[in-house]
Structure 1
Amino acid sequence: MKGTVVKFLLKTAWVLELIIALFILVVTVVQMVLTGKDSLDYLALGQFSLDEFLANTMNIVVCLEFVKMLILHTPRAVTDVLLFAIARQLVVSHSSSMDTLLGVAAVALIFIIKKFLLSREDSVLPKDMLAKFSQEFIAKKEEESHHE
């Protein structure tokens, strides 16, 4: 009984994460369109700001990486999100030399982690998890077709 409840809760949490990822993806696509439209309008008016454009596009990239992290659940996806978030902060903000140095050190540390601590298996969703999910999906479809 306890195992069944735990499995149900884990599947529910996973489905909710997918719903959140889908919502973030939809909002990100809308933001992409708005950023493109605004950039063209500002270019036509001669009021284009490269800083604002970079901030918006880097936010979009960070959101896309975050969606991948929610879906994949791999250590490499987490480090990618951190890498892009720190890179965004370095590119967009005009902070002090010490903040920039710390940001560059953080990026270097993430590259070291990716090179020496993460393996190839850390970047791929476990095959047994994909196979198990697809088998459950096929079994539910077959069960539904037998009930009809």
Structure 2
Amino acid sequence: MKGSVVKFLLKSAWVLEMLIALFILLVTVVQMVLTANDSLHYLSLGEFSLNEFFASTLNIVVGLEFIKMLVLHTPRAVTDVLLFAIARQLVVTHSTSMDTLLGVAAVALIFVIKKFLLSKEDCTPPPDILGRFLGGHSAQKEETHHE
């Protein structure tokens, strides 16, 4: 009884995560279309801003990385989201020298983590990713993956 309730809750949480990822993907695609439309419009008017274009496109990239993090559940996906979010902040905002230095140090730290602390297993998604979505997986795999 307790095992089936836990299994149901884990499946429900996973389905909700996938729905959220799908919604984020939909919004990201809409943002891509709007960014392209706005960029072409402002280019034709001669009022194009590269800084605003970078802000929009890097937001799209962060959104895509976030979707991958929700789907894959790997430490590598988490560090990738952090890396792109910090890089976006560094490129788009014009902060103080100290903020820039801290951002560069954070990026360097993420690279150190990826190089020395993440194993090959941390970088590959579980083999049953599609199986979980389609319902063809064992309870043991699910419990191991969600611990």
Could you tell me the TM-score, scaled by structure 1's length? 0.88
Q: Which has the larger radius of gyration?
A: 1
Deviation of residue 136 (structure 1)? 3.5
Distance 1:120 1:38, change over 3 A: same
Partner of 1:104: 104
Partner of 1:144: none
Identical-residue share of aligned pairs (%): 74
Partner of 1:116: 116
The CA RMSD measured in Å over matched residues stands at 1.8
Q: Deviations over 1:101-131 (max 9, x none)?
A: 000000000000000000111111122x347
Partner of 1:133: 132
Say which structure, 1 or 2, has more relative contact order (CA 8 Å, 6+ apart): 2
Which structure shows the bigger proportion of residues in helix conformation? 1
Runs of 4+ in 1 over 4 A off after TM superposition: none
Partner of 1:37: 37
Aligned length: 138
Which structure 1 segments of 5+ residues have no match? 139-148
Partner of 1:89: 89
Deviation of residue 135 (structure 1)? 7.7
Partner of 2:27: 27
CA distance in 1, matches of 2:134, 2:70: 22
